[in-house]
Amino acid sequence: MALYVDDPIHKLGRMIMAHMTADTLEELHRAADALGLPRQWYQGPPRTAFAHYDLCKANQARARRELGAVIVRPRIIAQKARALGCATSSERQLPGEGA
């Protein structure tokens, strides 16, 4: 299982944001809890196509440093988040990911 973040390049007002997703919803929410993110910040189906949290630069750095998040390209975040959002179980593992 892994936690993924992209580079903070997405503008939200005056802030620059990154995205965070994981191999399972449980892991994604656990990481958000560890970073102190409110659960209502979760973005996923049916409201959005991608299961993820938006992170400010500081929280993206914390996710990498404290939680071992792997930095990937935005395209990879979208692929993993989209697959996670389509999962029928919070424990579903993505194809090609090791246990």
Q: Is 17 contained in some domain?
A: yes
Q: Is 97 contained in some domain?
A: no
Q: What is the pTM of this model?
A: 0.79
User: How many domains, in total, are found in the chain?
Assistant: 1
CB-facing half-sphere around the CA of 32: CA atoms within 13 A: 22
pLDDT digits (tens, 9 = 90+) for 47-97: 887 889 999 999 999 999 999 999 999 888 888 887 876 643 333 333 333
Q: Is 90 contained in some domain?
A: no
Q: Is 24 contained in some domain?
A: yes
Q: Is 96 contained in some domain?
A: no
Q: Taking each helix axis from N to C terminus, what angle separates 57-67 and 25-35, rounded to the nearest 10 degrees?
A: 110
Q: Is 94 contained in some domain?
A: no
Domain that includes residue 47, residue range: 3-85
